[in-house]
Structure 1
Amino acid sequence: MGLSNGLSDPNKKNMVVADCAKLLDTQVASMGGVSGLALKAGYAAVKGIAPSYCAEAIERLLPESFTALDPIWSEGVQTGNPAEHLIQNRSRTADALLGITDTKIEKSRNTTVKGVYGKLRNSAKKHVEDAVPGLAKIIDNYTKS
């Protein structure tokens, strides 16, 4: 069973989206330095579009994200610890996730989101890699239940 199959329960999906949104908020809030200030400003601009914009984006991206992560997760299932496998392969995990967002942004008509993403994309992989442990924990929590 793929990771996306676990989202057939709407309550579980809503909890995963909420946990991922909290993870995103936490990751952005913890960033420091000049690049952190830029990212926080960009994040605030995107959230300014609509308060629920990020959660809605996560909800839309989640099925494709889980499909993209499924091969890495499945490798981890074979080794006995899929969450740890995602963490150990955080570069591959980040590439899988960013491939989805890159494609979505290319097709987006929202110039604000495109502009912010374009300015921050070069540093995005490091930030996504930093979030992988939290994401792995979220996925692990919901695949066990």
Structure 2
Amino acid sequence: MTDLKTALTGANREAVVTDMAAFIDSSVSGLSGFTGMAVKGALGAARKADPDVVSKGVNRLLPEFCDALDPHWRSYRGDGAATDGGDFGGYLEKHGDEVTDSILAVADRNADNIGQPTVAKVYSSIRGKLTGIISDHLNGLGAVIEKHAA
């Protein structure tokens, strides 16, 4: 079984980055309420510093996210869920707290190392809201990953 990093950062990396950035943009645009306003405002501020911040961030962090999600991918592929009609998004949702913590651990480690103080400041302003946002979008995340890794 191929590990997630090999599957997603090889020859199809550009397509993975494009689809993941589009997924993130779509997810953010669908947010509503005060949280949605805060996240959209934060992303808008980050885009003022760098219009390609989402795709650059995805490209830069993709290997680390793959490492963080690989145990979940291996479990999903190994426990038969992949052949029993289940999908990776559903698997991620069932393990939501654990998966969200894995994703946020990568984001937290890298927030201060982005090289742009504006982006780091924006991240810290929305960090508390990210747990719920990520949890709500695990199914879509799983679909993007499975599209390119399966």
* Matched residue SS, 2:31: coil
Deviates more, 1:33-42 or 1:105-114: 105-114
**AA in 1 matched with 2:7:** G
TM-fit CA distance, 1:6: 1.1
- How many pairs are equivalent? 143
Q: TM-score, normalised by structure 1?
A: 0.91
Give, in whole Å, the separation in 1 of the partners of 2:31 and 2:16: 23
**Map 1:97-112 → 2, pairs under 5 A:** 97-112=103-118
Structure 1, unaligned runs of 5 or more: none
Give, in whole Å, the separation in 1 of the partners of 2:130 and 2:58: 16
What is the percentage of aligned positions where both structures have the same residue?
27
* Matched residue SS, 1:80: coil
**AA in 2 matched with 1:130:** D
Deviates more, 1:1-10 or 1:67-76: 1-10
**Contact preservation (8 Å) 2:8, 2:66:** no
**AA in 2 matched with 1:119:** S
Q: 1:130 and 2:136 equivalent? A: yes
The aligned residue for residue 19 of structure 1 is 19
Deviates more, 1:81-90 or 1:112-121: 81-90
Q: Which has the higher contact order (CA 8 A, sep 6+)?
A: 2
Higher helix share: 1
1:95-137 deviation line (CA, Å, top 9, x unaligned):
1111011011133442211211111101111111122111100
Q: Kindly report the root-mean-square deviation, in angstroms, between the aligned alpha carbons of the 2 structures.
A: 1.4
TM-fit CA distance, 1:8: 4.6
Structure 2, unaligned runs of 5 or more: 83-87
1:73-100 deviation line (CA, Å, top 9, x unaligned):
1111122235032221122111111101
**AA in 2 matched with 1:4:** K
